[in-house]
Structures are given as structure tokens and as C-alpha cells.
Chains A and B, each alone.
Chain A
Amino acid sequence: MEHSRAELAVRARGVEMAFGETRALRGIDLDVPTGTVLGLLGPNGAGKTTAVRVLSTLLRPTAGEVEVAGIDVLREPAKVRERIGLIGQAAAVDEMLTGLENLTMFGRLHGMRKAAAKGRARELLTRFDLDDAADRIAKEYSGGMRRRLDIAAGIVVRPSVLFLDEPTTGLDPSSRLAVWEIVRELVADGTTVLLTTQYLDEADQLANDIVVIDHGTVIAHGTSDELKGQVGGGRVTITVEHAAQLDLLTGVVRAVAGAEPVVTAGELRVTAPFEGGARHLPELVRAIDDAGITLAGLELRPPTLDDVFVHLTGRSTEDADQEQGA
């Protein structure tokens, strides 16, 4: 989809960022049309945080052009700061201040008067279900509460563009849902959102467009459906009881599915595209049985973004994480 420059809340062209020898971003293009959500997806170390820091004026890129809310980030960072909200990867609220004090402080730092800042703080605490915790210090908050406070702090003055860096990493499922709900409400109010995530379902749930990055380059972009379309039909995932049978299973699956399976040895798991769908499942089970393989589990499911990632890079997102950790 092509958008005119005026319709774009975020526009990045050829953004590069090097930290000494490390090239965290190697020429990234991003377009986020106003009022939409872009999901920036990638494993650990892909460059998500770096990209967010560049877009939100915290880092000066080594090369490239960046416009946010129609303003050149490199030339007028101060003006950009008036229009954005940043919610970083680590919850950056002051742990020793109460929820109310935190939000009042951020309002004041946005130039609001004391009474107005306090009023807005109360409003946000109510909206994010933190009323009861308003006068407790943030240190005593649960992870989910802290995250909600953190998000509230990023929208004290309603930003036209909001950056969320891994907003739900480390949260329990219900807190995750609460954050998703908040993001949806913000979008409904007209805020443009760029969020990064390692969770494929999160991008699937929230984002209009998804950009997949790996090693500092964009390896795919499109809507969730477009990306899934790229990898074809469903996926079959089979686990075995005994590691010794993994190779045998791989061979059987390759033959029946007619595609190269991905083997996750540590979990005794084989995954492969399975175009035929449920109708062809008996055939697969029979072949496995004939080979004398003891099944531990078998699942046929529609393609996920993880499959997209494997398709694009030949590695699963988990492998990419380990690579980064090494």
C-alpha cells in the first residue's frame, strides 16, 4: 500500500545505526500511516529497541531520514518530543514515587500546571484501574500494574504517535490482555502506535501492518494475513517419545508433506507445512505408525507468525534468541 507523505505518522528511510563495530540497524525503511498500528517483530537483538530509540529522538542514527508526525526527527527533536510518547522496554517509572506522584510529575514535565497535571493523573489512574494504588509507591506494584502506570505516564499528554517497546514482555496473561485493551482504546482515540514485540500473536492481535526485522534489516512486511499467505497452508507439528526416532520421523514427514520439515531437537519436535489439511492427516499418521514411531503428540494448525519467521530465516525465533545469547 502506498501512502502519501502527509498520511504517514512515521516515515523512516535507510536508517542505519552502528555502535562501534555492532551494526544494530542496517538500512531500515518504515511507514506507519496515521491512526494505524505497526508491529515491529523480531527476536532478541534484532534491533527493535534501537529502532524505537532512533524514532523517539533518543539516538541519533548513523545514517538515514526519519520523520515523526511530519517533523524531521534529526532537525527538530524537541518538537517531535511534544508529539510522542515513549514506553520503553524497562518500566521507567520512579519506583519511590506513588502512582499519583509519578503521573503528576510527568504532566508537569510536559509543561502542565500543577492542578491540571494532578487532575489528569487522577483521570488516568481511574482509566487504568489503578485508583486503589494511587497513593502507594510504584515499587509495591505488581508487574502488570507497573506496566499500566508506565503506559499511563507515556500518554499524560495525549501523544499523536506512541512508541511501545515490548509492552507485554514478562506479564502474566491477564495483564497482557489488559495492555492489549489499553492499546486498542488508544488507537480508537486516534493515536498512531508503533509497538515492538517478540510475541507473534501480539502483533497478530494488535497490528494492522507487521514488519519483521532480523539482524537490523527488514526481512518482511505486510499484514498478518499477507505474511501468512507467503508461507502457504497450515502446519503440522509432531512430537515423539524417543530422541532416537527423530531422524526417522523427519524422513516420513518430508515424504508425506512434500516439504522440508523444521526439527527442534531439544523438544523432540518436527514441524512442516501441510498443504493438504485435515483430510490428509490419516495418511500421515499411518505412515508414522508403519515406520514404528511412538508418537507423543500431533497437531495441525493454521500458520502463525512464527512459521513466517522460520520460513524467512530458516531459524525459529527461539533459535535466534539463543544465537543472541551466545
Chain B
Amino acid sequence: MNRFFADTSVMAWRNLRRTLRLPEMVVFATIQPVMFVVLFRYVFGGAIDTGSTSYVNFLMAGIFVQTVAFGSFGTALGLVDDLQRGVVDRFRSLPMNHGAVVLGRIINDISINLISIIVMVIVGVIVGFRPTGSPLELLLGFGILVLVSFSFSWIGATIGLSLRTVEAVNSGGFLWMFPLTFVSSAFVPVDSMPGWLQGFAEYQPFTRMVDAVRALSLNQPAADHVIASVLWCLAIIAVFLPISMRQFRRAALRA
């Protein structure tokens, strides 16, 4: 177990080092949600009715959760890159814990996500976002985002290790995120959607996560959403962690 932590911290250190030397990755990961903020706040926002809540206050929770969800793309890409370069082979020939290869990558991606979120908060405040939650609620909201980031990273790991090439991940590895993040409460209230979509949008995990972060940031009743989000995250981890580890073994055998 000690060995596992030691190996994981070495792998996390390695990935963070890489990230620092390739800051473009972080910059691009941040520019995209900034564009979303501007786009939705100024282009679509005027046409979206969010009742008594201002649209920018409504929007930012959606942006935060979408940002960390999209971050899982980096997990997929990073693992596949290592796989293709033969670095994973080298790691697998070492007497180290192989799970640390994936976990080290995920820790790196969570760190990038944290940076993106901080940038998003600043950008949000500039365009009028005024969170009203208590410091404790805001902290909890942040915690939820970290948990979401962690759980979605396992989905990213599973996808990357299943597709096994950078090209495949680049062209298809993020498709699943569009229905999940857009058919949700992230950008528009669910009750503005046609009935047949509402059923999906209302109950899918992403909506619950957005609702939890939104409620926490706007000082609204949040307990139900928080519990649902945590349970969803645990469920995602329970499913995708073992699958991704199995795919890691398989992908490495085939590379």
C-alpha cells in the first residue's frame, strides 16, 4: 500500500512536470470554457428565461461542471499518448504498482481542472457572476467539482484505453460529452425542453451535479442535489475504475 502511494506520487509528479512544460494544454483547456461563458452570457443568454435568477448566475455552475467533465478528455489523451510511445511498456516492466500510472495521470488532470475553475470564477465575476452561497457552501461546491473531476477522469481513462490511439481519441473521445452536458440543466432550465427530452435531462447525473453546484453557489436548498451527485460520482467510479484498469492491462498487452 505504501508502495502504491509512493508510485502514485511519482507518477503525479511526472505528469505535473509535463503539464508545466506544455502550458498550452492548460491554456487551451481554459480558453474553451471562457468562450462558452462569453457565448452563453452575451449571445444566447438574453433568450433564455431563468426566472428570478440572473442568467449569468444560472450559467456559471453549468460552466464549472462542464469544464471538469471536458477535462477527462485530457486523461484519455494523456494515457493513450503514453501507451503509443511505449512509456507504458517501460512502466509495466518495472516492479511498480501499475494502477499508479492511471491514478498519477488523473491527479494531474484534477490539478488542471482546479486551475481552470479558478480562472472560470474570475471570468464569471468579470461578466457579472455574483455567488451568494456561504463560504462553507462555496467550499462544498468546490469539493463537488473535485469529486466530479475525479469520477469523470475514470470515464476518460476507460475511453482512452479502449480506443488506444491518439487519432481515435481526438476524433471520437469527446462525443459522449455533448449530449451529457448540453441535454442537462447546465445552460437552460430543463422545463424549457420538449417533454421527451426532459425525462433524460432531469434524471441524468450531469444535471444533478450542475444543480448541486448551482444551489451551493446561490444559497439555495442543496442537500438533495449534493447527495445525489455524490452517489452518482461513487457509482461512476465503481463502474469505470475497474473497467479502465482492465482496459489498461488489455491495451498494454496489445500495444
Report which A residues bind B (CB closer than 8 A). 19, 53, 56-60, 78, 81-82, 84-86, 88-97, 101, 105-106, 108-111, 137, 153
Contact = CB atoms under 8 A, between A and B. Distances in A.
Nearest to A53: B89
Interface in B55-113: 85-87, 89-96
B246 interface: no
Interface residues of B, number: 24
Q: At the interface, is chain B mostly helix, strand, loop or mixed? A: helix
Contacts of B7: 109
Given A96-B22, A109-B10, 5 more contacts: A57-B93, A60-B253, A110-B95, A110-B96, A111-B3
A94 B89 contact: no
Contacts of A86: 89-90, 93
Given A58-B253, A94-B18, A110 B10 contact: no
A81 B254 CA distance: 19
A292 B100 CA distance: 72
Contacts of A105: 10, 13-14
A19 B95 CA distance: 26
29 contacts: A53-B89, A58-B93, A58-B253, A81-B93, A81-B94, A81-B95, A88-B86, A88-B90, A89-B86, A90-B86, A91-B86, A92-B85, A92-B87, A93-B90, A94-B18, A94-B87, A96-B21, A97-B14, A97-B18, A101-B17, A105-B10, A105-B14, A106-B94, A108-B10, A109-B10, A109-B96, A111-B3, A111-B6, A111-B95
A106 B95 CA distance: 10
Contact of B90 (A59, A92, A97): A92
Nearest to A98: B17
Contacts of B3: 111
Contact of A109 (B21, B22, B91, B252): B91
Nearest to B100: A109
Contacts of B254: 19
B95 A78 contact: yes
A46 B205 CA distance: 50
Contacts of A53: 89
Contacts of A108: 6, 10
Given A90-B85, A90-B86, A94-B14, A137 B95 contact: no
B152 to A, nearest CB: 24
Nearest to A89: B86
